[in-house]
Amino acid sequence: MTSKAWWTMLLLALGLVLHLLLGEVSMGWSEWMQAIVGISTSSLHSVVLWEIRIPRALTAISAGILLGWLGMLMQTWFRNPLAGPSVLGITSGGSLGVAMSVLLGLAFPAWMAAAGGCLLVLGLIGLGARRFASPVTTLVFGLMISYAVGATVTVLQSSASAESLQTFVFWGMGTFGKATLNQATICLIAVMILGGWLFWRASWLDMWTLGEDLAQTMGVPRSRLQGEILLLTGLMVGLVTSICGPLAFLGLATPHVYRFFHAPRSHRAAMLGIGMWGAVLALAADGLVRWTDANGGFHWPLNAVLAMLGAPVVVMVLWKRNHDWS
């Protein structure tokens, strides 16, 4: 690894330790270590650490890694630096699935409903990508789908009960704080699955960056690769969305933050760096949310913080677009 990669890893480790050590419940270093190894004399410290802070931190790290990798995958597939789960409307599809589950009271688990909504939107985008030659046109098509899905969710909200509407609205603000240890474990398993697939298909993705026609002449099966991308993206975004809410900008911004500090590399070489930066950004955003909860007397929604962090990245890409993505 390069020195920059080591610094990123150190930043991630520092963020994780601070995430576990600091909070509204005061916990010294020795008390924290005792709670970690399970010999704490305070049941409160053990509960706070193992039922609140550790699940929250692991979920933030996993979501950051997954969305960072998915952002890289979307930008490669569409050959567009502004592609991402939130920009293309994939996250909105997850919101539609959860809205139908929560607001209409359908008997589907949230993750299944979110995954179904994501797969539906991804399927429509995939059809559009086959018809539209320009990646920019595909991006606009995804935005139009996002608007249509958002309008549908608004209609569902207008006829929902007050209790279900409140549940959905708070879910839509985004949070890592409601994840359980089991859910955090599932997210970590999802990281291993997606990471294994990216490592396996890295050569195909590298070829795809050369252009669709050239990639197919080099042996990349377009339909098979697209099917795998659609399935994995739908399932992963659906999982993250059902647990954390519709997280904006994280998938879009993370690959660009990585490219700002590192020279463009192959997908296999970039996986570690993009994953670490996704985790760092997720922990930083959640850390700011926790700080406002503890010191500001008011709550900053996670999505608002992510937008404040991610929007400048989008502006930077639009302002300084030096790479040829066509």
- Residue with the bigger pLDDT between 26 and 53: it is 53
Could you report the per-residue pLDDT of 98-114, keeping only the tens digit for each?
A: 888 888 877 777 778 88
What pLDDT sits at residue 325?
Answer: 43
For residue 148, pLDDT over 50 is answered with yes
The highest-confidence range among 73-87, 142-156, 164-178, 186-200, by mean pLDDT, is 186-200
Among residues 243, 222, 200, the alpha carbon closest in space to that of 94 is found at: 243
What pLDDT sits at residue 321?
Answer: 58
What pLDDT sits at residue 34?
Answer: 66
Burial of 82 (0-12, 13-18, 19+ CB in 10 A): buried
Among residues 128, 117, 132, 133, the alpha carbon closest in space to that of 85 is found at: 117
Q: Which of 31-40, 88-97, 171-180, 192-201 has the lowest mean pLDDT?
A: 31-40
Q: Enter the tokens of residue 114.
A: 């979110």
Could you report the per-residue pLDDT of 36-91, keeping only the tens digit for each?
A: 666 555 677 777 888 888 999 999 999 999 999 999 998 898 887 878 887 777 88
For residue 228, pLDDT over 50 is answered with yes
What average pLDDT does this structure show over 1-9? 77
For residue 296, pLDDT over 70 is answered with no
- Residue with the bigger pLDDT between 271 and 90: it is 271
CATH architecture of 56-319: Orthogonal Bundle (1.10)
What pLDDT sits at residue 292?
Answer: 81
Q: What is the mean pLDDT of the chain?
A: 84
What pLDDT sits at residue 313?
Answer: 75
In the 3-class helix/strand/coil scheme, how is the chain assigned residue by residue? CCHHHHHHHHHHHHHHHHHHHCCCCCCCHHHHHHHHHCCCCCHHHHHHHHHHHHHHHHHHHHHHHHHHHHHHHHHHHCCCCCCCCCCCCHHHHHHHHHHHHHHCCCCCCHHHHHHHHHHHHHHHHHHHHHHCCCHHHHHHHHHHHHHHHHHHHHHHHHCCCHHHHHHHHHHHCCCCCCCCHHHHHHHHHHHHHHHHHHHHHHHHHHHHCCCHHHHHHCCCCHHHHHHHHHHHHHHHHHHHHHHHCCCCCHHHHHHHHHHHHCCCCCHHHHHHHHHHHHHHHHHHHHHHHHHHHHHHCCCCCHHHHHHHHHHHHHHHHHHCCCCCCC
Could you tell me if 52 and 178 are in contact, meaning their C-beta atoms sit under 8 angstroms apart? no
Query: Given pLDDT bands bounded at 50, 70 and 90, which one contains residue 322?
Result: low
